Amino acid sequence: MIFRQLFDSESSTYTYLLGDESTGQAVLIDAVMEQVDRDLQLVRELDLTLTHVFDTHVHADHVTASGVLRTRTRCTVVGGVGGAACADVQVRHGDHLRIGALDFQVLATPGHTDDSVSYFLGDRVFTGDALLVRGNGRTDFQNGDASQLYDSVTRVLFGLPDTTLVYPAHDYKGRTVTSIAEEKRHNPRVAGKSREEFIRIMEHLDLPKPKKLDVAVPANRACGLTASSPSSSPHH
Amino acid sequence: MIFRQLFDSESSTYTYLLGDESTGQAVLIDAVMEQVDRDLQLVRELDLTLTHVFDTHVHADHVTASGVLRTRTRCTVVGGVGGAACADVQVRHGDHLRIGALDFQVLATPGHTDDSVSYFLGDRVFTGDALLVRGNGRTDFQNGDASQLYDSVTRVLFGLPDTTLVYPAHDYKGRTVTSIAEEKRHNPRVAGKSREEFIRIMEHLDLPKPKKLDVAVPANRACGLTASSPSSSPHH
């Protein structure tokens, strides 16, 4: 398997490229609009064909590249049910997505947003904003729900093997990966915390509104292609 | 093996933590002064003991954390011969460094600076600024030498197996890793380029002087501990 973690410094977003060497098929997870050229160049240089883009949820902090990538490569756009209506495939808990020999299992992990899903692949899981390194996504918009997120983290994700590597959608301190075992022990909001304590923490974060919220959410519901976008031509 | 890639966004530096699970010993490669607390916290949380810090060379773009880490943890500081005189161990091509079960092989890869070394460990190599993702470090100070760097890249590093993962000291576009095969094919300064073409490219980069050069190089020759540093107390 080819695996590459990529970072967008403006939004502190991690994008992941996974390629199956036997078929040459590849998927990008949580691709960022501004990085389309970088990412497609890497796909080409690795002799891969982009067949899928997965979003973990409708993002509020950056515009997804999924629509532009679909226009440019004819790839299939995948998102969680209830998320972006423009997605070609809307997945539910327990669904499988096969990219050549790579078999991703979809885990519903709502709470940051109602459409949040994680993609589990053998020894690693791509958690979006449901579980971050020593943190988790906020729960105060897009139908966020702290109680639901507590279940997503402690029941769904912490039910994975301890050694599972956790690749998040963001980090703001230069950390690139964590593991289920690490977060069980060291996540300051969840480790040893009851549901009530977690809800109280989430209710008192007092975070400013994301700068891009009003632009990013409507754009991302349309796979990043808004009426004003130069790349908004209809896809295949 | 425990492996973590860490990023300092101010200097775009990658630091690497490698831990041997059997003995609990760990090494940091190219640690950054400003990230000492983050890095030591991670070492602790992973139940590791920091026994070594490796520098790939005397850096010009950030201040090494090696001296502070030695003061705080009594770890052994390792650098290339001809580099920081404060290092406990000055290594040469062909030397081995054992951190528990991890056996690092030292490769002399001069040219960016005269003291540059790479650390090779099985399926991966830590190349400092000798080889970057689709690039390489500049050669216009600290006894840099483009002809020497051409040999370091094309003879020493490209002599490693094609599948070897290359972990550089920096990237400025959010790329985290590459491979020997990728760089052989796609490195724009080296792939298909003669020594003379490479030297010409390096002579005409016309780069500004690194902002931190005058501070970082003297500091790093003292393992980051200068007379004015609050952490400059003598080590063990």
pLDDT tens by residue, B122-181 = 999 999 999 999 999 999 999 999 999 999 999 999 999 999 999 999 999 999 999 999
Contact in structure between A58 and A84 (CB atoms under 8 Å): yes
Q: Is the pLDDT of residue B230 over 80?
A: no
A217 assigned to some structural domain: no
The CA-to-CA distance between both ends of chain A, in Å, stands at 29
Task: Give the mean model confidence (pLDDT) for residues B62-73.
Answer: 96
Contact in structure between A105 and A94 (CB atoms under 8 Å): yes
Residue B206 in contact with partner chain A when CB distance is under 8 A: no
Q: Do B7 and A46 touch (CB under 8 A)?
A: no
Residue A91 in contact with partner chain B when CB distance is under 8 A: no
Q: Do A185 and B45 touch (CB under 8 A)?
A: yes
ipTM of the complex: 0.91
Minimum Cα–Cα distance from A41: chain B residue? B186
A72 assigned to some structural domain: yes
A224 assigned to some structural domain: no
Interface contacts A/B by beta carbons within 8 Å: 48
Residue B173 in contact with partner chain A when CB distance is under 8 A: yes
The pLDDT score that the predictor gives to residue A230 is: 43
B213 assigned to some structural domain: no
The token pair at A169 is 């959608």
Distance from CA of B39 to the nearest CA of A (A): 10
Q: What is the CATH number of the domain that holds B123?
A: 3.60.15.10
The pLDDT score that the predictor gives to residue B211 is: 87
Task: Give the mean model confidence (pLDDT) for residues B204-233.
Answer: 80
The pLDDT score that the predictor gives to residue B210 is: 87
The pLDDT score that the predictor gives to residue A235 is: 36
A182 assigned to some structural domain: yes
A4 neighbourhood in chain B, CB within 8 Å: 175-177
Between B36-45 and B66-73, two packed helices, what is the crossing angle to 10 degrees?
40
Residue A129 identity (one-letter amino acid): D
The pLDDT score that the predictor gives to residue B226 is: 76
B186 assigned to some structural domain: yes
Total domains in chain A come to 1
The pLDDT score that the predictor gives to residue A216 is: 93
Find residue A105's DSSP bridge partners: A96, A120
pLDDT digits (tens, 9 = 90+) for B94-116: 999 999 999 999 999 999 999 99
Q: Do A45 and B185 touch (CB under 8 A)?
A: yes
Residue A113 identity (one-letter amino acid): T
B125 assigned to some structural domain: yes
pLDDT digits (tens, 9 = 90+) for A186-226: 999 999 999 999 999 999 999 998 888 899 999 999 999 87
Q: Which domain holds residue B129?
A: 2-206
Residue A39 makes CB contacts below 8 A (sequence gap 6+) with: A6, A15, A17, A28, A31, A65, A69
Q: Is the pLDDT of residue B85 over 50?
A: yes
A76 assigned to some structural domain: yes
Residue A182 in contact with partner chain B when CB distance is under 8 A: yes
> DSSP per residue over B151-198, as a string?
HIIIIIGGGS-TT-EEEESB-SSSB--EEHHHHHHH-TTTTT--HHHH
Per-residue pLDDT tens, chain A, 236 aa: give them: 999 999 999 999 999 999 999 999 999 999 999 999 999 999 999 999 999 999 999 999 999 999 999 999 999 999 999 999 999 999 999 999 999 999 999 999 999 999 999 999 999 999 999 999 999 999 999 999 999 999 999 999 999 999 999 999 999 999 999 999 999 999 999 999 999 999 999 999 999 988 888 999 999 999 998 755 444 344 33
Integer angstrom CA distances of residue A47 from A43, A97, A184: 6, 21, 38
Distance from CA of A130 to the nearest CA of B (A): 21
Q: Which of B8, B176, B186 sits opposite A176 (nearest CB)?
A: B176
Q: How far apart are CA B22 and CA B28, in angstroms?
A: 17
Q: Do A38 and B6 touch (CB under 8 A)?
A: no
